[in-house]
Structure 1
Amino acid sequence: MASPKKPLRTGMLLAAILALLTVIIAGCGSQSKDNNAATSQATGDTRIIKHEMGETKITGKPKRIVTLEFSFVDAATQLGVTPVGIAQENDDDIDGLLGKKIDFTPVGTRKQPNLETISSLKPDLIIADLNRHKSIYKELSEIAPTIVLKSRNSSYEQNLASFGVIADALGEKEKGEQILAAHKAKMEELKKGIKAGEPRSVLLGVFRSDSLSAHGASSFDGQLLEQAGIHNALQNTSEPTVKLTLEQIAQADPDVIFLVEADEKLISEWKQNPLWQNITAVKKGEVYEVNRALWTRYRGLGSAEKILEQAISLLYPAQSK
């Protein structure tokens, strides 16, 4: 009579074995998920990027990016990413910035980007400027992950910092560090062309219809020249750029003037004025015209190198022959 119970015991044993196997398999699956999560975190697939307007979560390596300032275009292309959308004022702006043509869609001007056009490009990252775009950060963030950095009215060092953030946002942090190191090495090499203890002070300015918009020591070009040993005539300005009258320029009395986009009518008037004639730079014939886009608008790593190269060639013409 006991024999009928054996199949029941066998069935219970099989059920217990199956249950144990289920637990083991589930445990392995959970461990596999944990390992995958650890790998994802280690490779930086998802990361939090801190910027001027807060923090933005970015996953993977963005490829469809929109840039709303020229220095961001320079940074992205150096890191191997061509923006799908770029804000610009003139059709040849990007050609001048990069020294080559690239395919992209214009998304309005830097001052007034076109949100509809930006949205139509389906970007996976937007890089905006604090000075120009903080008021539309919310609208940009609704289109795609957006980081806001300093470019306009920022210093050279602030632009270097922005480059590092862009590299991290693009998932190219290590490559960005290598590019920055190469840039700094290039700048150090260029500095060797500047005489030790260079005594001349320089004034860089955009000549308007009634005044000069001068770039002080804390401006992008002012600071990079300062670091190279070329001293700015405006040391104690509260802002990167300040408006100067002819009287104030004469008071600063720069040894060299880098003239950007001179207003011919204003210059003609000033040339007749004894104040202009008595400025050291004018008396010594050291007033040089330079390209406004390169010196005041582009603000990228490549631009910084070209600015220093040009400054050295103008200050030491005998060396460049």
Structure 2
Amino acid sequence: MKKLALLFLVFVLTIVTAACGTGSSSQPAGQTENNTTANNATEPGATELTIKHKLGETPVTKNPEKVVVFDFGVLDTLDKLGVEIAAVPQGGTIPIYLSKYEDSKYVNAGGLKEPDFETIAGLNPDLIIISDRQADLYEEFNKIAPTIHMGVDYTRYMDSYKENSITLGQIFNKEAEVEAELVKVDEAIKSLHEKATASGQNALIVLANAGNLSAYGPGSRFGLVHDVFGLKAVDENIEVSTHGQNISFEYIMEKDPDYLFVVDRDAVVGGDASAKQTIENELIKNTKAYKNGNIVYLDPNYWYLSGGGLVSVAGMVKAIEAAIQ
């Protein structure tokens, strides 16, 4: 009788063990039913999340210690959040308000278009963050460490900027800080948009580069002035491209904008800050923008070098609101 009871107990334990084994193998560890690993970032104790980005999906360990940053908008955000980074491309022009990253304390990762892969590999980083200028080298970066693309999509600037900020908050456990900053920016943009639309005025944004001018309209690199801030474009048909549409002074005089916003590239890439002398010639003096004192020189550190950061976007909003009368 005892032998029969023992056999029965072994039979029951065998069934229970088999059932448990089946349950654990039905879903890979660390994944949800829909195979989305990013959701695990919100689970207590989660130490890794999968970042979906323009160039793929990358598993990233939370709170990485050695971080290499090639995008100045991302650098801007991480600096605002108090996150330490290990290396930056000191061969590029670092925004003046982030000049502390020129210090030898930070490893020089090379140039924006010519990374120093040997130095980066020697650092043994935990995470590398790149954007469009390094996109063609993604696979090379990925051989060294997990690499994610975090450039701003200018066709959906604010959504892209917010997504990048939130992702950085998740990676570095700074969600609350990011949310607070985004709320402040949203409130400032709401106020600016109301002011801009009520004015009924239009604007033209130009990039000044070594005496040449390029115009940017809706959906472009600087298009958030129209798409988000609410100022009408003086020309809705400006070609959307990375380098803008080449224009002449006659074009500006013909379009006669209420506001002329100027980004002086030379001021931040080693040239002479000569945009004012270039722009304010006899032709431009015939425009409403000049006559009404509405030619505005925007800070190229924010607009040209580090757009998409928590600090730069807030500064961009303030600059346009201060300009509108």
SS at match of 1:228: coil
Structure 1 position 71 matched with structure 2 position 73:
yes
Match of 1:217 in 2: 218
**Distance in 2 (alpha carbons) for counterparts of 1:191 and 1:211:** 30
Alignment of 1:184-199 (within 5 A): 184-189=186-191, 191=193, 194=195, 196-199=197-200
Say whether 1:159 aligns with 2:175. no
- 1:45/1:60 contact within 8 Å kept: yes
For the Cα contact (< 8 Å) 1:63–1:81, is it kept in 2?
Answer: no
Residue in structure 2 matched with residue 105 of structure 1 by the alignment = 107
Gaps of 5+ in 1: 1-9, 317-321
Q: 1:145 is aligned with what amino acid?
A: P
Query: Within 5 Å, which residues of 2 pair with 1:13-92?
Result: 42=40, 43=43, 44-89=46-91
* 2:133 maps to 1:143: no
CA distance in 1, matches of 2:255, 2:291: 14
* Matched position secondary structure for 2:206: strand
1:73 CA drift (Å): 0.9
- Matched with 1:301 is 310
Q: Report the CA distance between 1:211 and its aligned residue.
A: 2.1
State the Cα distance separating 1:190 from its structure 2 match: 5.1
Give 1:4's aligned residue.
none
2:228 match: secondary structure: helix
Equivalent of 2:245 in 242, 245, 254 = 242
Root-mean-square deviation (Å): 4.1
Matched, 1:258 2:261: yes
Work out whether 1:312 is the aligned partner of 2:313: no
**2:152 partner letter:** S
- After superposition, the C-alpha distances for 1:200-259 in whole angstroms (9 at most, x for unaligned) are 222222222342122322235431554222233343334253221222222322112223
Aligned residues: 303
Question: In 1, Cα distance between the equivalents of 2:71 and 2:245?
Answer: 22
Corresponding residue number in structure 2 for 1:116: 118
Whether 1:289 and 2:290 are equivalent positions in the alignment is no
Query: Relative to structure 2, which stretch is displaced further, 182-191 or 203-212?
Result: 182-191
CA 160–234 in structure 1, closer or farther in 2 if over 3 Å, else same:
farther
Higher alpha-carbon Rg: 1
Question: C-alpha displacement at 1:52, in angstroms?
Answer: 0.5
State the percentage of identical aligned residues. Answer: 24
Task: Give the TM-score normalised by the residue count of structure 1.
Answer: 0.74
Preserved contact between residue 87 and residue 109 of structure 2 (Cα < 8 Å):
yes
Which segment is superposed worse, 116-125 or 262-271? Answer: 262-271
Which residue in the other structure is 2:269 paired with? none
Q: Is the contact between residue 206 and residue 262 of structure 2 (CA under 8 Å) also seen in structure 1?
A: yes
Is there any run of 5+ residues in structure 2 with no aligned partner, and where? Answer: 267-271
Q: Which moved more, 1:119-128 or 1:179-188?
A: 179-188
Counterparts of 2:89 and 2:156, CA distance in 1:
21
Residue pair 1:156, 1:224 contacting (<8 A) in 2 also: no
1:119-134 matches, within 5 Å, as 119-129=121-131, 131-134=132-135
Counterparts of 1:195 and 1:52, CA distance in 2: 33
> Distance in 2 between the 1:154 and 1:271 partners?
30
Tell me if the contact between 2:256 and 2:288 (Cα under 8 Å) persists in the aligned partners: yes
Secondary structure in structure 1 of the residue aligned to 2:85: coil
Conserved 8 A contact 2:169-2:178: yes
Most deviating of 307-316 and 39-48: 39-48
